[in-house]
Copies of this chain bind each other. A is one copy, B any other.
Amino acid sequence: MSDEPAVDFSPMDEQISVSEGTTLLDAAEAAGISVEALCGGQGMCGTCKMIVDDGEECLSDRSDADEFVLSADQLADGYRLSCRAEVECGPVRSTVPSSTQNTGGIVLTEGREMAVDLDPAVKRYHVELSAPTLEDNVADRERVRQGLDATYDLTVEEFDHLTHRSLPNDLRAGEVEDEDALDVTVTVYDDQEVIDVTPGLEETAYGLAIDVGTTTLATYLVDLRTGETEAVSSQLNPQTTFGGDIMTRVRYTRRNEDGRDELQGAIRDGVNECIEEVTAEAGVGRDEIFEAVFVGNTAMHHLFLGIEPSYVAGSPYVAANHAPVAVKARDLDVDIHDGGYCYWLPISGGWVGPDKVSVLLVSGHHEEDETTVCIDIGTNGEISVGNGEKMWVTSAPAGPALEGAEITHGLRAQQGAIDQVDVDLDTREPTLGTIGDAAPNGICGSGVIDALAALFEAGLVDRRGQFREEVMDHRRVRRNDDDVVEYVLAFDEETAVAGDVVLTQNDLREIQMAKAAIQAGTLVLVDELEIEQVDRVVLAGGFGNYIDPESAMTMGLFPDVELDRVESLGNAAGIGAKLALLDGERRADAERIVDEIEYYEIAGTDVFRDKFLESMYLPHQDFDAYPHVRERIETLRSVDDVRTMDD
């Protein structure tokens, strides 16, 4: 008997012994249980959650990811993210809820396709054909068609012309000895086009989910039979060389004759590098990858496909197309199977691109009765408000401040960046958290939000975001050489850079403007839809993942709700791409969302400008509309003090 820790999974009653430090997820996989883990075991999606029935003490402590991704109810019920729970001793007993179980991939058998939950656009069919004779010399293509029809009742009209090239050889290489039969595996795209014919039985099939962010390019290699993520690669979007933000890149295409081609080439090269990485890591051939599903904002969509992006970037913000686009990968020089496709999710409006559609798909709020506000924070805050009955979406020009840009010591989320700020209510001294616990070298987006909320809570700034006169004598508050007030987050000797790390009055203003844009956009939709009560807030995007929901609500970034009704979807765009890759129904849902959702253009409207000005306040000019925030501030400070802040 092994003395390694034993784990027992219900309801399938599988036991396994694993080495110390193995995650519950890996243990389950080792025991032959297929588990959903859409984010690839990165603690972002929550789809791998399990209930720990016994032996909780044998597991590693709950991680931050557990606290954030799982609801309070789930935590109370003993749920853990199996990808984050390491087995340190035994025995452990765990229940795998049915929602967590991956109920199977496509199993190709002789003539029968197993019932599946997975339904990718790419399917492989194993067919046995009679060998041609003088009496039966129907052409190879028609022979394959007859086989698909006879065995799977599947009528396929189209063949990628490249399949013809080696079809005669492929078919004959599949010869079954002594049987006058030819055995081949036929790969069909979208039930309508044969894109590959391979001799013999060949079951492996992979796809890619690719999130083309303005800043980051993330590529997931997914096994289409199991839905499992086999490898992940991410890198800086190579278009960044041409400009950090969309407008700069669009301007580049206007000013340079070959600009569009250059930008398209850059992102394509990046994607191909990612493909090289994930295939090498997983030991998968590029010919085994039959589809890449892409998400990204509309500008990324256009620049990836080589489409003129100018008109998306200016009023009236018209995209080149709304419909989903499936383009042969070879037409775009993307290194997957020659007959494979690059599929882009549809576009709803100029600023509501496939990334937002993907987020909506993951949030699922288009199917619910409750009213949800879904915010994807980025240079543009993409905001949807609604429910199963009606859903509006808009895009608010937040600018880059929430990503650390335009801030005196702003940084991207990187080693040493301050990502958490708390300010003591009495001493008004800060407590900082930094990425990697390194000495601070600047402040990133989530730190900026924390900082503004903390400065407000500690009474250092008033509801207009102005440093209050009476704190000017604090040792951390001072006027800089330009006579601008600033707060010292870390003094020279504590930092990893030369000099202090500060937040200036101007920085605060940048942050306020960014949050006000998102807040005002949300409020416009809430008003237009005549919504009395927002029930739930969903935050998407890498940024939405790291933000402190309490600080964000204190700032008024989203409507006042119970704090436990604020959820993060993690990298919802990427997860949505994966859903669309794996499940035809979800892909159809995305098209339905685009058809049903209404895009509300706020840019240049009076109502947006009015709400924007009201939203410059913390949390809003009408403090009473934010009862949870007000109550919290009142518990932190005396009511009188709060009244003073109101001024």
The answer to whether B164 touches A318 (Cβ under 8 A) is no
When the two chains form their complex, are residues B165 and A132 in contact, meaning their CB atoms are under 8 A apart? Answer: no
By a CB distance below 8 angstroms, the chain B residues around A139 are 318-322, 347
Give 3 nearest A-B pairs by CB, closest first.
Answer: A141-B321, A168-B308, A139-B319
Distance of A397 from chain B, by nearest CB (Å) = 15
Partner of A322, one of B138, B308, B318, B604: B138
Which of chain B's residues have a CB closer than 8 A to the CB of A408? none
Cβ of A159 < 8 Å from any Cβ of B? Answer: yes
Q: State which of A274-282, A309-317, A472-480 sits at the interface with chain B.
A: A309-317
A601 to B137, CA, bound (A): 9
Please tell me which stretch of A30-38, A323-331, A378-386, A443-451 contacts chain B, meaning at least 4 of its Cβ atoms lie within 8 angstroms of it. A323-331
Q: How far is the CA of A580 from the CA of B64 in the complex (A)?
A: 68
> Is the pair A142, B601 in contact by a Cβ cutoff of 8 Å?
no
A155 within 8 A of B: no
Q: Given contacts A161-B331, A321-B159, A322-B142, is CB(A307)–CB(B168) below 8 Å? A: yes
Interface flags for A584-608 (1: CB within 8 Å of B; 0: not) read 0000000000000001010010000
In the complex, are the beta carbons of B167 and A308 less than 8 A apart? yes
Residue of B nearest to A321 (CB): B141
A251 at the interface (CB under 8 A from B): no
Of the candidates B164, B260, B601, the one whose C-beta lies within 8 Å of that of A307 is B164
A511: Cβ under 8 A from any B Cβ: no
A350 (CB) vs chain B CBs: closest residue: B137
Q: Is the CB of B137 within 8 A of A307?
A: no
Interface residue? A288 (CB, 8 A): no
A166 B308 Cβ-Cβ under 8 A: yes
**Cα distance A164–B349 in the bound complex, in angstroms:** 16
* A310 touches which of B168, B331, B349 (Cβ 8 Å): B168
For the complex formed by this chain, how many copies does it contain in all? 2
Provide the A360-389 mask, 1 if CB < 8 A to any CB of B, else 0: 000000000000000000000000000000
Do B168 and A325 have beta carbons less than 8 Å apart? no
* Docked pose: A325 CA to B141 CA in angstroms: 11
A-B residue pairs in contact (CB < 8 Å), sample of 27: A132-B316, A133-B316, A134-B315, A134-B601, A137-B316, A137-B317, A138-B318, A139-B319, A139-B322, A140-B311, A140-B319, A140-B321, A141-B320, A141-B323, A161-B305, A161-B325, A164-B305, A164-B307, A164-B321, A165-B260, A165-B308, A167-B320, A167-B321, A168-B307, A168-B311, A169-B308, A172-B311
Give A418 Cβ to nearest chain B Cβ, in Å.
Answer: 40
Closest to A301 in B: B164
A433 within 8 A of B: no
The answer to whether A306 has its CB under 8 Å from any CB of chain B is yes
Apart from A141-B322, A142-B321, A165-B260, 10 more pairs, CB < 8 Å: A133-B316, A137-B316, A137-B349, A137-B350, A139-B347, A140-B311, A140-B320, A165-B307, A167-B308, A167-B321
With a CB–CB cut-off of 8 A, which chain B residues contact A134? 315-317, 601, 604
Q: How far is the CB of A331 from chain B (nearest CB, A)?
A: 7
Residues of chain B within 8 A (CB-CB) of A319 are 139-140
Chain A residues touching B, range: 35 or more
C-alpha spacing A613/B323, complex, angstroms: 66
Give the residues in chain B near A138, CB-CB below 8 Å.
318, 322
Indicate whether A323 sits within 8 Å of B142 (C-beta atoms), given known contacts A132-B318, A316-B137, A601-B134. yes
Q: Within the complex, which residue of B141, B167, B325 is in contact with A164, where a contact is CB–CB below 8 Å?
A: B325
**What is the distance, in angstroms, from A130's C-beta to the closest C-beta of chain B?**
12
Q: Taking CB as reference atom, which chain B residue is nearest A330?
A: B331
Q: Which of A134, A325, A327 has the most CB of B within 10 A?
A: A134
Beta-carbon nearest neighbor of A140 in chain B: B320
The residue of chain B having its C-beta at the shortest distance from the C-beta of A308 within the complex is B168
Please give, as numbers and ranges, the residues of chain B lying within 8 Å of A172 by CB-CB distance. 311
Count chain B CB atoms within 10 A of each CB in A172, A306, A310, A318 and give the residue with the most. A318
* Contact code string A330-349 (vs B, CB < 8 Å = 1, else 0): 01000000000000000101
Minimum distance in angstroms from A400 CB to a CB of chain B: 25
Enumerate chain B residues within 8 angstroms of A141, measured Cβ to Cβ: 320-323
Fill in one digit per residue for A154-181: 1 if any B CB lies within 8 Å of its CB, else 0.
0000010100111111001000000000
Contact across chains for B137 and A320 when beta carbons are under 8 A apart: no
Which B residues are CB-close (under 8 A) to A318? 132, 137-140, 168
Determine whether the beta carbon of A305 is less than 8 Å from that of B165. Answer: yes
Give A307 to B167 CA distance when docked, in angstroms.
8
Residues in A374-433 with C-beta less than 8 Å from chain B: none
Complex interface: chain B residues within 8 A of A315 (CB) = 134
Q: From residue A281, how far is it (CB to closest CB) to chain B in Å?
A: 30
Contacts of A165 in B (CB 8 A): 260, 305-308
Residue among A164, A327, A349 having the largest count of chain B Cβ atoms under 10 Å: A164
